[in-house]
Chains A and B, each alone.
Chain A
Amino acid sequence: MAISKEINGVEEACKDVKDGMTFMLGGFGLCGIPENCIEELVRLGIKDVTCISNNAGVDNFGLGKLLKKSQIRKMISSYVGENEEFERQMLSGELEVDLIPQGSLAERCRAGGAGIPAFYTPAGYGTEVAEGKEVREFNGQPHILESALEADFAFVKAWKGDTAGNLIYKGTARNFNPMMAMAGKITVAEVEHLVPAGELDPASIHTPGIFVQRIIQGSNYEKRIEQRTVRTKD
């Protein structure tokens, strides 16, 4: 019998989040974000949290909802250009912001989940990002030491999942979700389709269920498109 990770509802899955915790939230832009968990964090009204997420949502969607209610004390991201409220809070000093290169962000999450405390990368050498970090040459090229990231909770979103916590992502909605799933002390996965263990092809699973502590059937996905670009049929 597979170990069941199934939780009945987002309230139960988020019941022990607390003020001041560090969260990871999957997604790139608004693609692949844990919409249900974000709604629940807004509803719970927890404060002073640190959010590790590639982006910060837009003004009224995604992490923008937590920002609007001033629930976030610090953001760790690579790109935050789509959110006016974010900019306002950052420039006024209400919000602490740590901007880090996207590849380093991904690898720091992966390292956190993989038991690697730190690693060297060439990204950011000679820039503000390298300030205060150890520099070391490998093969004649300078690299900087980057440390692993971990979180009290990781909130990830997948397309399909089974009750054993195994996850399959759709398209580019995968992005940061697999690494963040690995790096959460408690990882909550919300999925569009939750199926019984045994129904997913083991060879097609992207995130093994061992990294997931709680899985819920998500609901009411809006899946908003940030930049709708199309061509017309002749």
Chain B
Amino acid sequence: MALDKIGIAKRIAQELKDGYYVNLGIGIPTLVANYIPEGINVEFQSENGVLGMGAFPFDGEEDADLINAGKQTITTLDGAVFFDSANSFAMIRGKHVQLTVLGAMEVSEQGDIANWKIPGKMVKGMGGAMDLVASADNIIVAMMHTNKAGESKLLKSCSLPLTGVKCVKKIVTNLAVLEVTNEGFKLLERAPGVSVEEVQNATQGELIIKGDIPEMNL
């Protein structure tokens, strides 16, 4: 069965390593913070200017001066720090953040990503996404394998305006875990009960299938 959003978040959480500073985008990526593997310490950076983000506040304890990049009220953990936007993006561009997880509308087999604009329909802006994808060494995209019309979001080349070029390293979808390689999307794992054929049918870009493809261990 294909994963839901929580399943995707749980699988991405397995990519967290002890000592990582992590930037989580809005949507599915935000859920990753709920499934940190036991025994490791990570800190979450939000580009509006906080490192060491904690859970949402208790009802009645929310503070208008304490939000994340999704404008949600948050709390901080021991060791947290606030900083300005220039310093925040120095952390990001300067590769001090070890992992970036973000959503996408389209990803190409070269690792290009599009997630900020649908010409004529939706123009919200790129926010910090272009800075994040241009600099991070380790970028994981969290998204559904197909869009609402059932069309593949893993393409030979992106049709929407790009956010960044040749930057995505790994993709976790409701159907599979894939690595972006020079040859195309390499299938690493299948969602439980999802066949290789189902992944193939939902992937427009080049899909590389080598040997037996294991199921995700969630």
Contact = CB atoms under 8 A, between A and B. Distances in A.
A90 B123 contact: yes
A122 B134 contact: yes
B172 to A, nearest CB: 24
Interface stretch (B10-18, B68-76, B174-182, B192-200): B68-76
Interface in B118-173: 123-131, 134-135, 161-165
Contacts of A232: 58-59
B84 A78 contact: no
Main secondary structure of the interface of B (DSSP, over half): loop
Interface centre among A103, A107, A110 (most CB of B within 10 A): A103
Interface string A1-44: 00000000000000000000000000011111000000000000
Interface stretch (B36-44, B86-94, B208-216): B86-94
Given A101-B126, A224-B64, A229 B88 contact: no
A79 B73 contact: no
A231 B162 CA distance: 36
B124 A79 contact: yes
A109 B89 CA distance: 13
B77 interface: no
A225 interface: yes
Interface residues of B, number: 52
Interface stretch (A65-73, A173-181, A194-202, A208-216): A173-181
Interface residues of A, number: 58
Interface of A: 28-32, 54, 77-82, 87, 90, 97, 99, 101-107, 109-110, 121-129, 159, 169-179, 206, 223-233
Given A107-B86, A125-B134, A175 B71 contact: no
B66 interface: yes
14 contacts: A99-B123, A101-B128, A103-B47, A105-B85, A106-B85, A123-B93, A127-B162, A127-B164, A127-B165, A171-B50, A171-B63, A174-B83, A174-B84, A206-B84
Contacts of A230: 56-62, 73
B65 interface: yes
Contact of B128 (A29, A78, A81, A227): A78
